[in-house]
Amino acid sequence: VLAIEKLLGVEVPLRAQYIRTMFDEITRILNHLMWLGTHALDVGAMTVFLYAFREREDLMDCYEPVSGARMHAAYYRPGGVYRDLPDQMPQYQQSQWTTGRDVGRRNEARQGSLLDFIGDFADRFPALVDEYETLLTDNRIWKQRTVGIGVVSPERALQLGFTGPMLRGSGVEWDLRKKQSYAAYDKVDFDIPVGVTGDSYDRYLVRIEELRQSNRIIKQCVEWLRNNPGPVMVDDHKIAPPSRSDMKGDMEGLMPPLQAIQRRLLPTSR
C-alpha cells in the first residue's frame, strides 16, 4: 500500500494514518504473543502459551468489525482504509452451545465502540505482561535455557541481515518506525529497546519491552482518534471509488470508478 501511494503521490488522511498505526501495533503484539507462547512451550512452559493466546483472541476480535475477517490484510487500501472504526462492537449471540450467562460475560467489554474495546484492552494489557514476566523473567529453568544461548554479536547480526527484535536483541538500535517513519509514527512517543549480550534471553527481554511500547502507542492512537473525527479515505475517485450509495444513486457517481476500472487504475472488487 505504501509503495502504491508513493508512486501515485497520494496524501493519506491523517485519521487513516493513525488507524493504520494502531492496527500495525495490534499486529505487532499478536506476532510477539505468538512468538512468546510458542517459544515458552518449546522450552517447557505451557502456561504462558495459554495466557498469550487468551490475549490474541481479544486482539483478533478487533479485526472483525473493520474487515470482516480475523486478519486485517483486507482493511488497508491505497489512499486510506476500507472504512472508519465502527461505533458498536459485534455481540456474541446465545446458541445451543452457549448459555445466556456465558454470552453475557463475553459481551461485557463489547458494549461500546471498537475504540472503547481497544482502549479497555490497552488499559488491562500492562498487568497481563507482568503476568508473563512473573512466570518467565526470573524463572530459573527459563534462564538456564535462554541465557548465553544463541549469542549473536552486532556485527554478525548485520552480516546475516537480521531485522526487527532479532537485530535489536543484539544491541543494534534500528527501527524503521523511527529511522524511516511512516503512517503516524512520527507523531507518537515510544522507545526502542535493545539487548546487551545478544543471546536468546536478551531477545526475549526486547520483545517483552516491545509489547509494552506497542501498547503505549495504541493508547496514544486511541486518545487521538477519539478526539479527531475525519475522512479515512482520500477524496479522489481515480484512487478510491465513491461510496456505494453515491454509485447507486446517480450516473455521475457511477462513471468515474467504472472508467478507472476500465483503465486498470482500480481493482475490480473491494
Q: Has residue 208 got a pLDDT over 80? A: yes
Check residues 221 and 239 and name the one with the higher pLDDT.
221
pLDDT bin (cut points 50, 70, 90) of residue 94 is confident
> Quick one: pLDDT band at residue 265, thresholds 50, 70, 90?
low
CA dihedral angle for residue 106, residue 94, residue 116, residue 240, rounded to 10 degrees = 130
Q: Give percent of the chain above pLDDT 70.
A: 90
Higher pLDDT, 266 or 237: 237
Using CA atoms, how far apart are residues 119 and 113, in angstroms rounded to an integer?
10
The reported pLDDT for the residue numbered 253 is: 64
CB atoms within 10 A of CB 157: 21
pLDDT in tens, 39-70: 999 999 999 999 999 999 999 999 988 988 88
At which residue does the C-alpha cell 515458552 appear?
40
Please indicate whether residue 245 or residue 133 has the higher confidence score (pLDDT): 133
pLDDT of residue 91: 84
Considering the chain, what is the average pLDDT of its residues? Answer: 90
pLDDT computed for residue 142 by the predictor: 96
232, 84 Cβ separation under 8 angstroms: yes
Whole-prediction pTM: 0.89
Cell of 205: 527481554
Domains of the chain, first to last: 13-61+113-234 (1.10.645.10), 242-270 (no CATH)
